[in-house]
Amino acid sequence: MGQPTDGTIDITDNFNAFVPLVGDVVSPNLGETVANGCADMAAAKLLQDGIATRHLVTVIANPGEAYSSMAKGTTPYANSLAAITKAKALATAAGWSYAVRALPLLHGEADGHNLNTNYAANLATWQANYEADIQAITGQKLAVPFMVQQLASGASTNSNQTQSIIPMQQVAAWKANPSRIILAYAPYFLQHSPDDEHLSSQGYRLAGQYFAKVYRKIIRGETWFPLYPKWNRIAKIGNVITIPFYVPEPPLVLDSSTISEPTFVSGSRYGFEVYNSSNAPVAISSVAIVGKYKDTVQLTLASDPGNGGRVAYAFTAPIGTQAGPGATTGPRGCLRDSSQEMSFYTYGQDRTTTWLPSLINYPAPYADGTSVPLWNWACIFNEPIPNF
């Protein structure tokens, strides 16, 4: 397993052998990344599929930096290629084949602070550069997609935004090239650290298992669709809006027990927000799950929003609202699927710090020290309502 580094370390001096991947789940902020959760769960699930694999994880991070500080030509980018070059050499010496199958990406806060409206294009360029450079190192013809964690801390005290521009930039990049930019999940349901922008160590370990879901699909040659609206099929008739979803595992569930219902926008329900053409909120009277496969949300509004409106979800929160501790604050929503998949790790038994809230408000029987369900929660969206 690779050795985590940051952007200041010459990886050629620190990565001369594969070492076991060991994370720190006790310290609130330090030590843990998505590496353990992703690699351990992916290896276990792929073995169930009859695919025996070794997984090498190298973490290259430069905390708090925008795309411009991590793009091709920067030290972090060069370090990542150095790590891949060294890993290829070590694998070849051991008689193993080696390829890079995907790159998990947790990024976007700094670009949100900087109001980077080119972030979707930056993601496309970033991924294309990595794919070309990695293929040149490894000799693989396989694609190297980004698995993107959608930003969910846009209303933090550092951003000065009630609606971050980054989540929809990430969606735009995914829509433009879904085989290369894969929208994995939105982390509003995960435990965040006190700085609001990073996850807790427990949150990162759980997040890694959500990346493992996507990674497994990539290895199996399948396509991952997150819980997200089929945007070209959103419809409005009078004061009723229907929103069909891509649903990993139907039926859809409105779950305000696990994640508390936000009330930041007047008239919002379960995280859904509706606006007319003047950007004024339109009250939602009721929300229902409908359709043969229970894969569609129906919003009944207090009034017809007219043409030129939009429907959003988990999109707005007051400035200074902290994201995700216990899924009770920050931008969030209550829509999930019914995935039966359980976490690789158990949770609760190493919750040792006084500030650390419950990992998530999982209902019984998911008590401390047990595996928890890996439900897929709806991604953040802000989509136009087609005119009819």
From first to last of its 388 residues, the chain has per-residue pLDDT tens of 233 333 333 445 566 778 887 765 555 455 578 888 899 999 999 999 999 888 888 877 777 789 999 999 999 999 999 989 999 999 999 999 999 999 999 999 889 888 899 999 999 999 999 999 999 999 999 999 999 999 987 665 555 677 889 999 999 999 999 999 999 999 988 887 776 677 877 788 889 999 999 999 999 999 999 999 999 999 999 999 999 999 999 999 999 988 989 999 999 999 999 999 999 999 999 999 999 999 999 999 999 999 999 999 999 888 777 776 556 778 899 999 999 999 998 875 444 433 344 566 677 666 566 788 999 999 999 999 988 6
Kindly give, in sequence order, each residue whose CB lies less than 8 Å from that of residue 40, ignoring residues fewer than 6 positions away: 21, 208, 344, 345
pTM of the predicted model as reported, rounded to 2 decimal places: 0.91
CATH for 5-219 is 3.40.50.1110
Match 């696990």 to its residue by tokens. Answer: 258
Residue-range domain boundaries for the chain: 5-219
